[in-house]
Amino acid sequence: MPINVTRSSMPSMEEYMEEIRPIFESRFLTNMGPVYKKFQHQLIDYLGTQYISLFVNGHMALEMAIQALGLQVPGGEVITTPFTFVSTTHAITRNGLTPVFCDIKPDDYTMDPEKIEALITDRTVAIIPVHVYGNICDVEAIDAIAKKHGLKVIYDAAHAFGETYKGVGIGNFGDASMFSFHATKVFHSIEGGAIAFNDAQYRVRLHELKNFGIHGKEDVLAVGANAKLDEFRAAMGICNLRHIDEYIQSREEVVTHYRERLGGVKGIRLCQPQEDVKSNYAYFPVYFAEKEFGKSRDLVYEDLQKQEIFARKYFYPAVNEMTCYKGLYPQNTPVAHDVSTHILTLPLYEGLSREDVDRICDVILYA
């Protein structure tokens, strides 16, 4: 049986049917209906932020957070990381802003706060860091730098659903955080996303931006777009939220077994559990140091593929090396380059068996 890098968690079909029954009865399918509102309130409880605005996907949520925070200043620059899914950078450039790539830390691959201040200019408007793989950024350092320079911070928390730092929900840091509910994420609503925030002034703006900028019944205040989460997806979110703790626990068991098998192996570098962080076990990235391990990342990838095990070169290439961005912006991100050329994320999903993890590790270690 092939093993894919991920597999969507699902409630039972009966449970989903039960949740969508009222939608069939009311014929109210979208436009922030009762299921949307129920999902929204459950998420506020779970994530522990004052406000949640739901979107059709995480990418549109991030684009609209940039707009709601008023960051679309002509010539504006946003400090961000090249070691992420391309959506983060696209959200900046599609808003007419210039990404300024900051290098990452070699241990947890998040933005290196010590390299931020050198990149700040009088055109800088914001910092958009990423809790990459669910590794939490140094939120205290980043938020302090932003405060000192009067910058906004939006965290790309697409990988960090349900995580806490010092007991505080991760959506409480910076000015706003984006969560993705894509089918491949720890928690999903098929497609979907959210902005979590604590400042009431963004509430109406986010709500209107996702609905064409329509204000009330007879006016349009902003040039918005359509990014509404529909009722059927909200229903899937409600079902998955009921089981999220089981999903995360199952992932933890998989990660624990991977660590037992791969921890301490010469030439293999794993991310260490972070202090004060409740993890969601979103990904299992492994750094292969070719010389010490004896095999390159690409060779391991191919060995796995031959056995129908599909790991992922995530994130490769680094965003600033992709054709659409290469050479466009000044950059000095050697760590991101190094990590992106040595890293593999291994299959990890709720329900991945111990036997499969052993099979994967055997191929890595002995093929």
Ligand X SMILES: *Cc1c(COP(=O)(O)O)cnc(C)c1O
Residues that bind ligand X in the complex, under the rule CB under 6 A: 57-59, 84-85, 87-88, 130, 156, 158-159, 180, 182, 193
Nearer to ligand X, 6 or 88 (CB): 88
**Residue 99: enclosing H or E segment and its boundaries?**
strand 98-101
The CB-of-180 to ligand X minimum distance in angstroms stands at 3
Q: How far is CA 96 from CA 8, 60, 93, 312, in A?
A: 34, 15, 5, 31
The structure tokens 């559990």 sit at 273
At residue 110, the 3 state secondary structure works out as coil
The structure tokens 């998040």 sit at 110
Query: In whole angstroms, what is the distance from residue 238 CA to residue 249 CA?
Result: 18
Q: How far is CA 77 from CA 109, 120, 340, in A?
A: 22, 9, 24
The CB-of-196 to ligand X minimum distance in angstroms stands at 14
Nearer to ligand X, 194 or 360 (CB): 194
Nearer to ligand X, 89 or 268 (CB): 89
What residues pair up with 345 in beta bridges, in sequence order? 285, 312
- The DSSP secondary structure of 171-218, one letter per residue, reads GGSSSEEEEE--TTSSS--SS-EEEEES-THHHHHHHHHTBTTEETTT
The CB-of-57 to ligand X minimum distance in angstroms stands at 4
Nearer to ligand X, 65 or 145 (CB): 65
Nearer to ligand X, 178 or 268 (CB): 178
At residue 15, the 3 state secondary structure works out as helix
Residue sitting closest to ligand X (CB): 58
The CB-of-165 to ligand X minimum distance in angstroms stands at 18
Query: What is the distance, to the nearest Å, from the Cα of residue 205 to the centroid of all Cα atoms in its chain?
Result: 23
Nearer to ligand X, 128 or 239 (CB): 128
